[in-house]
Amino acid sequence: MGSSSAKTLARRQDSTQLRRQWKLLRLLWGSRVGKTALELSRELDTSKSTIERDLATLQQDFAITTTSEKQNRQRYHYVGENEPVPMARFGPLELLALEAGRAALGPLAGTLLADSHKAADAKARLSTRSSDKPECRRAASIFRVITPGVERTSSDLVDDLVDATARGIRVIIDYRRSGCPTSRCITTDILRLVTFKGCLYAFCRSPNHGGFYWLAARRMTSCTLLGKAIEPISDSVIDGYLDGAFGLSLDPDNMRDVEIVFAASVADRILAMQHHPDERVEHLDDGRAVYRLRTSSKYEILTWVLSFAGNAELKAPADWRQELVERAMRAAGVHGGSNGPSESHPRT
């Protein structure tokens, strides 16, 4: 069996075990006289030896005790509030949030992250009041995963990236840059994993010079964990870098005040969505919208403004505005037939 198939099987087994142990805990919690391993095995339709292993695992974290009966049988009890596990009750918005999370992880199906979310979602459903079941079904019918053009990244690679990020372990990534036929090994510290426009990126810090940069998962061929813990960095420092990005571009030493005026014909689109947590949007009396933001992401801002053609005007900063004019002129020349396309701004 290949390593990918073995990992997938292991994840499925872990998910099944978690669900079974959750059911087992609820059965014990809801019983005033306790239950034997044989009784539990019959109720959960699994072997007695499996139940005994699960009980041994649960006893490490939960107050589960045993009493002896005839023929050396053990009866298991949950010690504490001897009441059934309270059934969770979800409001409509909470149910929608659960389904939205499941749908958002659709592109990562088969990875440990997505499978773990699926297991947690299953636990939540097991503890849902029966009166809420119809609401769960309705919520499930609302969200559909529509991901045209979403990259396909090896589930094993994503698992390794998540593992390294969660544990704070340094890695070596075999990386192939755009336009280069060969790859090179990069030793790096992964601080965050970010999905942007259907693609997965790793926000990294160089262990040599401390600089921050992005690596695209689609260009990675392997990720090897070195077992060495990375130097700690506070969440506030990381968030300080990421908060200034309008997309992926990072240049914290070149933050600029951006002002864009959108025509009335597209103002509703700007007002209806949040494009950045720190944005400020003003709706003018004539129907136009003024968008203001402090950011360093010049490439994303210019591309965004150009996507609105003549319905958006970049007012500031002046040097960005001049560069936008030059890009628009080049685009007009290409589409007018006088020049061919050029790769002036390659992406990561």
Phi, psi of 275 (to 5 degrees): -95, -20
pLDDT value at residue 139:
58
Fold of 252-335: Alpha-Beta Plaits (3.30.70)
Residue range 85-144, pLDDT digits in tens: 445 566 666 766 777 777 667 666 666 667 777 767 766 665 555 555 566 666 555 555
85-94, 253-262, 312-321: range with lowest mean pLDDT: 85-94
CB 231 within 8 A of CB 189: yes
Q: How, if at all, do strands 256-262 and 312-316 pair?
A: antiparallel
Question: What are the contacts of 86-92 at 24+ separation with CB within 8 A?
Answer: 86/127, 87/127, 87/128, 87/129, 88/124, 88/127, 88/128, 88/129, 89/128, 89/129, 89/132, 90/124, 90/128, 90/132, 90/135, 90/136, 92/135, 92/139
Q: Is the pLDDT of residue 252 over 80?
A: no
85-94, 184-193, 242-251, 322-331: range with lowest mean pLDDT: 85-94
pLDDT value at residue 195:
76
Mean pLDDT of 210-234: 87
Higher pLDDT, 10 or 110: 110
Residue range 261-309, pLDDT digits in tens: 999 999 988 888 777 878 899 999 999 999 999 888 888 899 899 989 8
Query: What is the distance between the terminal CA atoms of the chain, rounded to a whole angstrom?
Result: 35
Higher pLDDT, 150 or 47: 47
Fold of 3-78: Arc Repressor Mutant, subunit A (1.10.10)
| Confidence band, pLDDT 50/70/90 cuts, at residue 160 | confident
Q: Is the pLDDT of residue 152 over 80?
A: no
| Confidence band, pLDDT 50/70/90 cuts, at residue 259 | very high
Residue range 335-347, pLDDT digits in tens: 776 555 454 444 4
Highest mean pLDDT among 46-55, 62-71, 308-317: 308-317
Spatial separation of the C-alpha atoms in residues 344 and 323, rounded to whole Å: 12
Spatial separation of the C-alpha atoms in residues 19 and 126, rounded to whole Å: 9
Q: What is the pTM of this model?
A: 0.48
pLDDT value at residue 237:
78
Share of the chain above pLDDT 90, in %: 18
Q: Is the pLDDT of residue 73 over 80?
A: no
Mean pLDDT of 6-28: 66
Q: How, if at all, do strands 199-205 and 280-283 pair?
A: unpaired
| Confidence band, pLDDT 50/70/90 cuts, at residue 11 | very low
Spatial separation of the C-alpha atoms in residues 44 and 11, rounded to whole Å: 20
CATH of 155-243, one of 1.10.287, 2.60.40, 2.115.10, 2.30.30: 2.30.30
Q: Is the pLDDT of residue 213 over 90?
A: no
Domains in the chain: boundaries: 3-78, 92-140, 155-243, 252-335
Q: Is the pLDDT of residue 36 over 60?
A: yes
pLDDT value at residue 172:
95
Beta bridge partners of 72: none
Higher pLDDT, 97 or 230: 230
**Helix runs in the chain, H state only:** 3-29, 37-44, 48-58, 92-104, 112-126, 133-140, 155-167, 235-243, 264-272, 298-306, 318-335
DSSP letters, 247-286, are SS---GGG-EEEEEEE-HHHHHHHHHS-S-TT-EEEE-TT
Report the SS3 class of residue 58: helix
**Summary mean pLDDT of the chain:** 77
pLDDT value at residue 281:
93
DSSP letters, 199-244, are EEEEEEE-TTT--EEEEEGGGEEEEEEEEEEPPP--HHHHHHHHHT
